[in-house]
Amino acid sequence: MQMMEAAGDVTPPPAGDWQTRRATMEATMAAWGAARPMPSDVTAVDYKASAADGTPILLRWYTKQGRSETGTPGPAVLYTHGGGMIHSTVDLYAPVVGNYVSASDVPMLAVEYRRAPEHPHPTPVEDSYTGLQWLADHSAELGVDPARIAVMGDSAGGGIAAGVALLARDRGGPALARQILVYPMLDDRTAVKAPDPAITPFLVWSNNDNITGWGALLGERVGGADVPVYAAPARVADPAGLPPTYIEVGTLDLFRDEDIEYARRLSAAAVPTELHVHPGVPHAFEALAPAADVSMRSSADRIRIITSF
Mean pLDDT of all residues in 155-181: 98
226 catalytic per annotation: no
3-state secondary structure of 289: coil
Candidate list 88, 209, 283, 298, residue with the active-site label = 283
- Whether the pLDDT of residue 196 is over 90: the answer is yes
Asked if 17 and 212 touch (Cβ cutoff 8 Å), the reply is: yes
What pLDDT shows up at residue 86?
98
Candidate list 139, 155, 206, 298, residue with the active-site label = 155
What pLDDT shows up at residue 255?
98
What pLDDT shows up at residue 6?
43
- Whether the pLDDT of residue 132 is over 60: the answer is yes
What pLDDT shows up at residue 66?
83
- Whether the pLDDT of residue 232 is over 60: the answer is yes
Please give the full DSSP string across 216-232, using - where no structure is assigned: HHHGGGTTSS---TTTS
155 catalytic per annotation: yes
What pLDDT shows up at residue 8?
43
At 233-245, the pLDDT tens digits run 999 999 999 999 9
Q: How far apart are CA 193 and CA 6, in angstroms?
A: 25
105 catalytic per annotation: no
Asked if 61 and 44 touch (Cβ cutoff 8 Å), the reply is: yes
Long-range contacts of 257-261 (CB under 8 A, 24+ apart): 257/190, 257/196, 258/186, 258/187, 258/189, 258/190, 258/234, 259/181, 259/183, 259/184, 259/186, 261/234
At 11-26, the pLDDT tens digits run 899 999 999 999 999 9
- Whether the pLDDT of residue 10 is over 80: the answer is no
Q: How far apart are CA 186 and CA 168, in angstroms?
A: 17
Mean pLDDT score across all residues of the chain = 95
- Whether the pLDDT of residue 7 is over 70: the answer is no
Report the predicted TM-score, pTM, of the whole model to 2 decimal places. 0.96
Q: Band of the pLDDT at 68, cuts 50, 70, 90?
A: low
Q: Band of the pLDDT at 4, cuts 50, 70, 90?
A: very low
Asked if 260 and 275 touch (Cβ cutoff 8 Å), the reply is: yes
Q: How far apart are CA 149 and CA 72, in angstroms?
A: 15
Query: Does 71 or 88 have the greater pLDDT score?
Result: 88
3-state secondary structure of 198: coil
Q: How far apart are the first and last CA of the chain?
A: 38
Q: How far apart are CA 161 and CA 135, in angstroms?
A: 14
Candidate list 253, 259, 278, 298, residue with the active-site label = 253
Asked if 131 and 46 touch (Cβ cutoff 8 Å), the reply is: no
What pLDDT shows up at residue 69?
52
What pLDDT shows up at residue 205?
98
